Amino acid sequence: MFSKAAKWSIVMGMLVTGCSTYVAHSPQYEMRGRMVSQAVPAPMANTARYEHYDDNPIKQVSQQPLATFSLDVDTGSYANVRRFLNDGIYPPVDAVRVEEMMNYFPADAKPVYVAAPTSQPFAVDYELAPAPWNSERTLLRVDIQAKDIKTADLPPANLVFLVDVSGSMDEPAKLPLIKSSLKLLVDELRDQDRVAIVTYSGEERVALPSTAGSDKSTIRHAIEGLDAGGATSGEAGIRLAYQQAEKGFIKGGVNRILLATDGDFNVGISDNKQLETLIKQKRDTGITLSTLGVGSDNFNEAMMVNVADVGNGNYSYLDSLSEAKKVLNDEMHQTLITVAKDAKAQIEFNPQRVVEYRQIGYEKRQLRDEDFNNDAVDAGDIGAGKRVTVLFELTLVGQKAAVNPLRYGKQKPMEGKSDELALINLRWKAPQGGDSRLMSEPVKAAQLNTAFDSASQEMRFQTAVAAWGQKLRGSSYLAATSWEQIAQWASAARGEDSNGYRAEFIQLVKLSGKLAK
């Protein structure tokens, strides 16, 4: 029998019905997942599942001028990849989602919110700079900065902690970490807030009925009493959690379920689509659902990501208590308070100035062009104070294109728009629903930085993060870029780094290079 440490040191990937399943590996196995020897008995299979998405392709503007996608505020991929690297494992490709890595980092300095009409919950900014990995490409970074809300102005919260206490959670990095993490959130509760706790394993139960945030000792005592054991009846637990949320529903307040689990559902509904259908039936009542993932061997990330998206919540991965503090304390406003619902973006590129484009990340958030104006199509929610970053790699007119120009694809010049590279369109709904609203921002060619080194600190650091994510995924576009170069770009743009997140990132880049050899 292998020790837990030995199982965690394995990486052997196989694709199962559209999701990637990774099994443990020992030093006799290569980091990329190909077996090189089998001098020891085959290790225990691990049921970790990651959904597969192909990288976004290069698109010709003359044929596909619109890039349409849902905005994403999840950050779980970064913490999960960090866990792999710290365990000495090169992460599986499907665990790497570049947009979640870019959106992990708060702005180094407190962002200056550009003055905007009060009807708009966020401001839009953009920057253009040469791509450091290809002199024939230009990067467009779009930042969407949501308005923050003062703590005194926050609405009351009705929270339900839905905690997996099944046998698979009986590991130090699972239930004990969740218990410590939830205690951190309890510290932030106000008198007007309320908390209930629902657990599920072989059976579901209410471990704590709805309790006022002022009674912190009772809430902490209930959390401390959670123990693991039994099968995983996830469906019944989710249903009971919604019942408790409905009982404590606060009109005009935050009504949120926090599902903490490794996602190893083995009793009741276990199919992702069935889970999504169940949660869709509940989200329109005003009760949202976020997921907190833990663990490795039985970690079902595909389920965690999908139900959080469908539940109009966030997916976070907890690999440490410090990550729990970031998610549940430092960024609680962003995690719980929604300022814009069903937020979508549609970027229209000007064929007179842009030949090709490639969106970096957001593969799981792609929408059809017609979905942008369709208010029935669900999209991402943006929390108070959250910054969302989007990155495109462009081929401008005069730069060497990846695809031969089309003989019959000529476009007529746009009258009075020749100085625009693109038009950023954003559509969203108010948190309480209703019809969507639209705002637009043109991208001016005159804003292009002449050199990467002259770009802003944020542009350079986010570019390093995007380069790292692409290289982890084995992107051919970063084949000639070294790990050392990426670390250098990040180091030069580290800035004040009061929380140490950026210094840690630089070390992870260097560790990635060592494990990739």
- CATH code of the domain in which 223 resides: 3.40.50.410
The answer as to whether 63 is a domain residue is no
Looking at the structure, do residues 326 and 196 belong to the same domain, yes or no? Answer: yes
pLDDT-derived band at 434 (thresholds 50, 70, 90) equals confident
The answer as to whether 95 is a domain residue is no
Q: What is the pLDDT of residue 279?
A: 87
CATH number where 449 lies? 2.60.40.1230
Q: Which domain holds residue 30?
A: 1-46
Out of 9-23, 243-257, 372-386, 485-499, which region has the weakest mean confidence (pLDDT)?
9-23
461-472: per-residue pLDDT in tens?
999 999 999 999
Residue ending a domain, among 454, 476, 500, is 454
Looking at the structure, do residues 370 and 403 belong to the same domain, yes or no? Answer: yes
12-56: per-residue pLDDT in tens?
233 233 333 333 333 322 333 333 333 333 333 456 889 999 999
Looking at the structure, do residues 432 and 308 belong to the same domain, yes or no? Answer: no
- With a cut of 50, say whether residue 161 has pLDDT above it: yes
Looking at the structure, do residues 268 and 162 belong to the same domain, yes or no? Answer: yes
Residues 122-139 have a mean pLDDT of 96
Q: What is the pLDDT of residue 153?
A: 85
Looking at the structure, do residues 299 and 189 belong to the same domain, yes or no? Answer: yes
The answer as to whether 481 is a domain residue is no
Looking at the structure, do residues 22 and 129 belong to the same domain, yes or no? Answer: no
Residues 382-390 have a mean pLDDT of 94
Handedness of CA 174, 180, 181, 186 (dihedral sign): positive
Structural domain total, the chain: 3
The answer as to whether 54 is a domain residue is no
pLDDT-derived band at 201 (thresholds 50, 70, 90) equals confident
The answer as to whether 463 is a domain residue is no
Rounded CA separation 506/160 (Å)? 37
Helix, strand, or coil here: 428?
strand
Out of 181-190, 339-348, 415-424, which region has the weakest mean confidence (pLDDT)?
415-424
Looking at the structure, do residues 166 and 302 belong to the same domain, yes or no? Answer: yes
Please, which residues have CB within 8 angstroms of residue 263's CB and are 6 or more apart in sequence?
49, 293, 298, 299, 300, 301, 302, 303, 304
Rounded CA separation 272/12 (Å)? 23
Residues 330-334 have a mean pLDDT of 87
220-261: per-residue pLDDT in tens?
999 999 998 866 666 788 889 999 999 999 999 999 999 999
Q: Are 241 and 260 in contact (CB under 8 A)?
A: no
Q: What is the CA radius of gyration of the chain?
A: 23
Residue ending a domain, among 311, 330, 349, is 330
Q: How far apart are the first and last CA of the chain?
A: 29
Looking at the structure, do residues 277 and 386 belong to the same domain, yes or no? Answer: no
Helix, strand, or coil here: 238?
helix
Instruction: Give DSSP secondary structure letters for 94-150.
Output: GG--HHHHHTTSPPSS---PPP--TT-SEEEEEEEEE-TT-TT-EEEEEEEEEPP--
- What is the four-CA torsion angle of 496, 77, 141, 457, rounded to 10 degrees? 10
Looking at the structure, do residues 177 and 139 belong to the same domain, yes or no? Answer: no
Q: What is the pLDDT of residue 289?
A: 94
Looking at the structure, do residues 170 and 315 belong to the same domain, yes or no? Answer: yes
Strands 315-317, 204-212: pairing is unpaired
Helix, strand, or coil here: 456?
coil
Q: What is the pLDDT of residue 32?
A: 30
pTM of the full structure: 0.87
**Mean pLDDT score across all residues of the chain:** 85
Please, which residues have CB within 8 angstroms of residue 5's CB and are 6 or more apart in sequence?
none
294-325: per-residue pLDDT in tens?
998 778 898 889 889 999 999 999 999 999 99
144-160: per-residue pLDDT in tens?
999 988 878 889 999 99
Q: How far out from the chain centre does Cα 94 lie?
A: 13
- With a cut of 90, say whether residue 334 has pLDDT above it: no
Residues 436-459 have a mean pLDDT of 95
Q: What is the pLDDT of residue 180?
A: 96
The answer as to whether 477 is a domain residue is no
Rounded CA separation 19/272 (Å)? 11
Residues 468-490 have a mean pLDDT of 98
Strands 315-317, 59-60: pairing is unpaired
The answer as to whether 465 is a domain residue is no
Residues 104-110 have a mean pLDDT of 76
66-94: per-residue pLDDT in tens?
999 999 889 999 999 999 999 999 999 99
Looking at the structure, do residues 181 and 279 belong to the same domain, yes or no? Answer: yes
Residue ending a domain, among 304, 330, 356, is 330
The answer as to whether 79 is a domain residue is no
- With a cut of 70, say whether residue 452 has pLDDT above it: yes
Looking at the structure, do residues 185 and 213 belong to the same domain, yes or no? Answer: yes
